[in-house]
Structure 1
Amino acid sequence: MRGLKLTLGAVALLASSVSAQAFETGARAAYVLDYNSGTVLMAKNADQPLPPASMSKLMTLYMAFEAIDNGILDLDQELPVSEAAQAYGGSTMFLKAGERVKVEDLIRGIIVLSGNDACVVIAEALAGTETRFAQQMTQRAQQLGMTNSTFANSNGWPATNHRMSMRDLGLVATKLIKDYPQYYPMFAQKEFLFDPQESSNRFNRNPLLGLGIGADGLKTGHTQEAGYGLVGSAIQGDRRIIFVLSGMDSTQARARESEAVTNWAFRQFAETTLGTAGQHIAQADVSIGAERTVGLELAEDISLLLPVTPLTPLKTEVVYQGPVKAPIAKGDQIGELIISPEGLPEKRVPLVADSDVASHGFMDRVMAAAMNLASRLSDKAPAPEAS
């Protein structure tokens, strides 16, 4: 594998620099993702399975939306409330055993009011019992790539084997936004009054909604074991970020940290155009061709999410298996341009031939071989003796 390290003077697209000011979070675990590019901006204990508290309700909501999409549930359908659902404490909708509640109200009750009881009603409708639903949650999470998630219930009630990682919570948040955009606006709802007799139980606990920073979701969580956490998302301009924080010690700390990480993600990083398709990058050596080299150009536009603070040069390298054997057709992929921003995932961009290169004819190959042999023999010939 041949490698060419490029410098700022070599290629115009490298007129960029990287290294954002690091965000020192006080959260026990954290994960920050740029939604459009998939770039992970921060990961702290992101793959450690931790008690997720009510943030795990996002998985229950995903399965509810999936059931609606598949025709198993309907938003206007009324579901019965069981004794088991009513028995839950903590955050509830104050549902009463024997009443029937619309699916849409249950979903809004889960999102806005964090209703433990509403989760159980959904779970029993889909699986018969909450225990079976938790097993289905675990299986579905594994299928979706959430490999550090296991569920013991539908709502995040403390249990030894109820765990999610911050990356898994970020993944389910991403999938809710991507797969169910028709339902996602519910996550920005600031209040939902279900029971007029419980008028104080109506406000969304998400501290970012209404701050004017583009926040539109998703779910808070708190238990004594988990601390205070939040799965949040915000959109500014063409960018959306998703973040997960867990293990903070108060609602105030959660609010401060959530706002701070949102501002950091938007202010410290920007989408940057580095090059365009067809831009010349380097030359590759050619074997048994009519030309000794072939130009390498970008096969596609390059746009990367990069830190805005110019501290260190952007590291790049051209790699190809060389010399490249002719014949070569214009557009053939010859190698890759590897871009390695400090602290961020590397980006690999295909490099293609910018022109055709024919192979030598038979006599050309014979002459080339003869010249090569003659050169080798000349190198081995003894030096003449001094007279």
Structure 2
Amino acid sequence: MSRLFIFAVIVSFVFGTNGVLAQSFDTRATAAYVFDQTTGTVLLAKNEDAPLPPASMSKLMTIYMAFEAIADGRLVVDALLPVSAHAASYGGSSMFLDTTDRVSVEDLLRGVIVLSGNDASTVLAEALSPDGTEPGFARMMTERAKQLGMQNSTFANANGWPAAGHRMSMEDLGILADRLITDFPTFYPLFAETEFAFDNRVPSNKRNRNPLLTLGIGADGLKTGHTEAAGYGLVGSAKQGDRRIIFVITGLETQAVRAEESERLVNWAFRQFARKDVARAGTRIAEADVWMGNSVSVGLTVKEDLSLLVPILNQGEVAAQVVYDGPVEAPITAGQQLAELVITLDGLPEKRLPLVAENDVARGGFKTRLRTAAQVLWTKFVPRPEQSPEGA
């Protein structure tokens, strides 16, 4: 054929009762991002792509790169790392290290995750930096972030200390949290630890600052942050039943407001949305027209079990479009992606899911090609009724 057309097929999924939309979350945060990891649904996005001072929340990037280094053998958890004068010079949140210390990688990880140690972050950074310096590691952080899809993140240091150009967006922090949970399930329980008393130094500085960990709402991570420029923020995650959410907030006025807003947000995300199973893997959703094949159509199926997150008060009919460029030219292989299922539900962003061929479709033989050529000629030379001469 000389041109392709976009076809759309309307598909409906029925969940039960009709109703009104779930109430949107009116957050006091200056920027926020809430993501249901289980279904891949963004529940809330407010200034989510704005590059902002991330404070200590950017330590998650240092932790991610340290986990990668352990996974590929560049770091060993019981290795002892020296503390430079530069690392020891940092104030703020700290493990209270000095230049006489040699600290295990495992203790440094806990020092960053639980105690938010600026000094511990810098010790790890200098160990992994290509030139042994924190600025060298910050450049690595920026490059690695881009590779992970974090397009609004640039780093000037390893710990979030206020610096010109040190920025992350809330969406980028959400991407990073998702990767930490998915890529490093063995290490992730470190984020749920509520205390770490390193060497019994400064007993008053042994508690995790995450206000949600002891509330019994499924919270198990990840990192708080605060500077004067950033305000109070939190990258959090919680799991209830078979659902996990990730959220990022920043710009709040006090620790108390951060704690209250975080708990409200977790409760809203779990209570106002329900996961609904739509189709099992292999279920035929629609059909696509085939060009020059031994069959005139092919079934379109979902490759994996399909579930949707639906506002609990809007569980009636959900309409979706199957969109593809077609007719699809043969040969076609089973499992080949041919189309997208585009689901639009009021109150949630558009969701696009791949649809694949249900079975192989071989290229047609001589008779198929002859019939197709005849159809093309007929379409080209025979006038349509509306094009017929007047009075004909």
After TM superposition, is the score higher than 0.5?
A: yes
Deviations 1:118-166 (Å, cap 9, x if unpaired)? 1111122222111211122112212222111111111111111111111
Q: TM-score, normalised by structure 2?
A: 0.82
Question: Alignment length, in residue pairs?
Answer: 375
Q: State the Cα RMSD in Å.
A: 3.6
Residue matched to 1:41: 43
Once residues 334 and 138 of structure 1 are traced to their aligned partners in structure 2, the CA distance between those partners, rounded to angstroms, is 36
Residue matched to 1:345: 350
**Alpha-carbon distance change, 354 to 228 in structure 1, aligned in 2, over 3 angstroms:** same
**Alpha-carbon distance change, 303 to 80 in structure 1, aligned in 2, over 3 angstroms:** same
SS at match of 1:350: strand
Contact persistence 2:14–2:316 (CA under 8 A): no
Percent of aligned pairs sharing the same letter: 54
Structure 1 residue 269: Cα displacement: 2.0
Contact persistence 2:282–2:358 (CA under 8 A): no
**Alpha-carbon distance change, 32 to 288 in structure 1, aligned in 2, over 3 angstroms:** closer
Once residues 256 and 324 of structure 1 are traced to their aligned partners in structure 2, the CA distance between those partners, rounded to angstroms, is 53
**Alpha-carbon distance change, 354 to 75 in structure 1, aligned in 2, over 3 angstroms:** closer
Bigger Rg over Cα: 1
Letter in 2 for 1:191: E
Structure 1 residue 320: Cα displacement: 5.3
Once residues 170 and 64 of structure 1 are traced to their aligned partners in structure 2, the CA distance between those partners, rounded to angstroms, is 18
Written as runs of structure 1 = structure 2, the 5 A alignment for 1:294-313 is: 296=299, 298-300=301-303, 301-310=305-314, 313=317
Written as runs of structure 1 = structure 2, the 5 A alignment for 1:171-210 is: 171-210=175-214
Written as runs of structure 1 = structure 2, the 5 A alignment for 1:205-244 is: 205-244=209-248
Once residues 330 and 67 of structure 1 are traced to their aligned partners in structure 2, the CA distance between those partners, rounded to angstroms, is 39
Structure 1 residue 275: Cα displacement: 2.9
Once residues 246 and 79 of structure 1 are traced to their aligned partners in structure 2, the CA distance between those partners, rounded to angstroms, is 33
Structure 1 residue 302: Cα displacement: 2.8
SS at match of 1:200: helix
Residue matched to 2:53: 51
Residue matched to 2:260: 256
Once residues 152 and 183 of structure 1 are traced to their aligned partners in structure 2, the CA distance between those partners, rounded to angstroms, is 26
Letter in 1 for 2:228: Q
Residue matched to 2:83: 81
Letter in 2 for 1:261: L
**Alpha-carbon distance change, 237 to 129 in structure 1, aligned in 2, over 3 angstroms:** same
Residue matched to 1:60: 62
Letter in 1 for 2:270: F
Written as runs of structure 1 = structure 2, the 5 A alignment for 1:355-370 is: none
Once residues 209 and 274 of structure 2 are traced to their aligned partners in structure 1, the CA distance between those partners, rounded to angstroms, is 30
Letter in 2 for 1:345: E
Q: Is 1:247–2:245 an aligned residue pair? A: no
Q: TM-score, normalised by structure 1?
A: 0.83
**Alpha-carbon distance change, 120 to 314 in structure 1, aligned in 2, over 3 angstroms:** same
Residue 169 (structure 2) aligned to one of 165, 169, 185: 165
SS at match of 2:198: coil
Residue matched to 1:154: 158
**Alpha-carbon distance change, 153 to 349 in structure 1, aligned in 2, over 3 angstroms:** closer
Residue matched to 1:108: 110
